[in-house]
Amino acid sequence: MSSLSRFGHVIAGEPVAGQRWMPSYDPYLGEPWAEVAAGTADDVDAAVSAARRAYRDPAWRGLTPTARGALLLRLADLLAEHAEQLAVAETRDNGKLIAEMRAQMRYLPQWFRYFGGLADKVEGAVIPSDKPSMFNYTKPEPLGVVAAITPWNSPLLLTAWKLAPALAAGNTVVVKPSEFTSTSILPFLDLVARAGFPPGVINLVTGTGAEVGAALVEHPDVAAVAFTGGEASGRAVAASCGRKLIPATLELGGKSAQLVFADAILENAVKGVAGGIFAATGQTCVAGSRVLVERRILPEFLDRLSALAKGARMGDPMRDETEVGPVTTRQQLDRILGFIEHAKRDGAEVLIGGSRATRPECGQGWFVEPTIFTGVTPSMRIAQEEVFGPVACVIPFDSEEEAVAIANGTRFGLATGVWTRDLARAHRLAATVESGMVWVNTYRTSSPMSPFGGMKASGLGRENGAEAIRHYLQTKAVWMDFSETYPSPFVMRL
Ligand code: NAD
């Protein structure tokens, strides 16, 4: 048996060992540090059955919305107490900076506070009646068992975005984390149990997307899917949900543009653009990978952006001072380097970076040098496909119209950054860019209160914000007739 720590499934509140195990790698060391259960369709069936039983059990179903909300608030308090432990677990697992994971974990409780508070504020309606003897009202009801499928870049944060509204609405959940980052959810689930959630309300099955993810989506007792991941997997999930006729929220990838106008506060724009593409080593769905710069400030902007990127400290993500860490998987490292080589062949010019990082502080880890391409045309592959790494392509523009046309010229539509001091222009752009989020003079800002999601191939539906809970509810319309007589049974009652 392996000497590495093993992380299994959690079904009906009990730990369940895997029949098979797969390695989980430390991206900084480039070597396995744990083993994760490689689940099967049988594990999925056991988890969905447990979630289905919990959904029908009065211990959960009988709770008032206020009592459900109180459980979420209790979990929020426990998460706040254990933020440091969870941050370390995340960094170990996915290699993102401890500084960023600390910030995420300290803020994580807010999702459970927001949706815990919302649990008993979701109202049905009394419908105005055109039939004097009838009373008609609506009731929001949960869906049943929700499958929550997450990627590797921010495992617990993106799990919380699904769990908090799904639970507040009264559903039960089976979580399927990325096969590359399946361990940090276990300390999280310990806190779920301590908060007092009945066993089976939240279950965990780990494993690959092809085996566990697909079986979960296809399971006949799964009533809805909340998915975050890449475009190709998102399309596969949507196709399964279409066949089953169940709803899905899809948070997919992007090729987001940052538009820098000559009137912007240049120092802020440089920081915002660097943060958009080099922070988190570019492994964010909202990575601002297309940097559109007004031509007359291009030289100065590039000088400043290159200087900032070159000076970023790379190395051990567990160290507080590190600014650029490794990428999470070996496959992703190869994929990013493949995109870089392809861009060079297409004629893009490397301004900085353009290779694997071999600095001594990067050791054997999976590091890519922060890379800036110039000489990019909007139709090049590097300007159209999501790289999910620290690779910016810079495209100059001469007018606002041209900038908007380039920004909207991809199949994605997740986020747009706008850097300008011209308020009228900021409002014009907020209205014309095709993306689910627009950040003006800021970037990568999020909150449980504000809807998050994409247009076009970046996804369907929104996470966060009060509207998100509606994805986990269905409306029942109830009619009551209080008249003493019944009209002709052969005519519809209109
Ligand atoms: P991925 O699509 O490979 O995997 C995401 C999850 O889906 C994993 O748990 C995986 O096992 C599972 N999966 C894969 N194929 C599946 C299938 N056929 N059926 C069911 N489940 C399946 O994505 P990734 O590489 O882990 O993450 C990176 C991607 O996630 C990027 O494209 C990024 O933009 C996207 N992302 C989007 C957001 C957002 O909110 N829009 C946030 C973070 C990441």
Pocket flag, ligand 1, residue 248 (CB < 6 Å): no
The rounded Å distance from CA 230 to ligand 1 centre is 4
Average pLDDT score over the chain: 97
Alpha helices, DSSP H, located in 123-201: 155-168, 185-195
Active site residues: 251, 285
Residues 6 or more apart whose Cβ sits within 8 Å of residue 355:
337, 340, 368, 369
pTM of the model: 0.97
Residue range 168-184: average pLDDT?
A: 98
The rounded Å distance from CA 149 to ligand 1 centre is 8
Superfamily of the domain at 257-440: Aldehyde Dehydrogenase; Chain A, domain 2 (3.40.309.10)
- Which protein residue has the closest C-alpha to ligand 1 atom 20? 213
Report the percentage of the chain scoring pLDDT > 90. Answer: 99
Pocket flag, ligand 1, residue 328 (CB < 6 Å): no
- Which protein residue has the closest C-alpha to ligand 1 atom 19? 214
The rounded Å distance from CA 241 to ligand 1 centre is 16
Q: Say if CB 107 and CB 443 are below 8 A apart.
A: no
Say yes or no to pLDDT of 226 above 70.
Answer: yes
Strand partners, 350: 373
Task: For residue 17, give Cα distances in angstroms to 3, 41, 150, 174, 234.
Answer: 15, 14, 21, 16, 29
pLDDT in tens, 139-161: 999 999 999 999 999 999 999 99
pLDDT in tens, 417-463: 999 999 999 999 999 999 999 999 999 999 999 999 999 999 999 99
Task: Count the alpha carbons within 13 Å of 152 in the hemisphere toward its beta carbon.
Answer: 30
Residues forming CATH 3.40.605.10 domain(s) in the chain: 5-252+458-477
Pocket flag, ligand 1, residue 229 (CB < 6 Å): yes
Check residue 7 and report its DSSP letter. Answer: E
Please state, as a whole number, how many other Cβ atoms lie within 10 Å of the Cβ of residue 196: 11
pLDDT in tens, 387-417: 999 999 999 999 999 999 999 999 999 999 9
Residue range 2-25: average pLDDT?
A: 95
pLDDT in tens, 250-301: 999 999 999 999 999 999 999 999 999 999 999 999 999 999 999 999 999 9
**Termini Cα distance of the chain:** 70
H/E element, 72:
helix 65-81
Confidence band, pLDDT 50/70/90 cuts, at residue 1: low
Say yes or no to pLDDT of 68 above 90.
Answer: yes
Residues 6 or more apart whose Cβ sits within 8 Å of residue 473:
122, 140, 141, 142, 143, 169
Pocket flag, ligand 1, residue 233 (CB < 6 Å): yes
The rounded Å distance from CA 223 to ligand 1 centre is 20
Check residue 127 and report its DSSP letter. Answer: P
Pocket flag, ligand 1, residue 388 (CB < 6 Å): yes
- Which protein residue has the closest C-alpha to ligand 1 atom 9? 178
The rounded Å distance from CA 291 to ligand 1 centre is 24
The rounded Å distance from CA 151 to ligand 1 centre is 4
d(CA 376, CA 373): 7
Residues forming CATH 3.40.309.10 domain(s) in the chain: 257-440
Tell which one of 185, 228, 251, 334 to mutate to probe ligand 1, the residue whose CB is within 8 A of the most ligand atoms.
228
Report the percentage of the chain scoring pLDDT > 70. Answer: 100
The rounded Å distance from CA 157 to ligand 1 centre is 14
Pocket flag, ligand 1, residue 18 (CB < 6 Å): no
- Which protein residue has the closest C-alpha to ligand 1 atom 12? 209
Pocket flag, ligand 1, residue 201 (CB < 6 Å): no
- Tokens 């009137």 locate to 263
Among 254, 389, 373, smallest CA distance to 327 is for 389
Pocket flag, ligand 1, residue 16 (CB < 6 Å): no
**For the CA atoms of the chain, what is the radius of gyration?**
24
Say yes or no to pLDDT of 2 above 80.
Answer: no
- Pick one of 3.40.605.10, 3.30.300.90, 3.40.30.10, 3.40.630.30 as the CATH number of 5-252+458-477: 3.40.605.10
Pocket flag, ligand 1, residue 256 (CB < 6 Å): no
Q: What three-state secondary structure class fits 20? A: coil
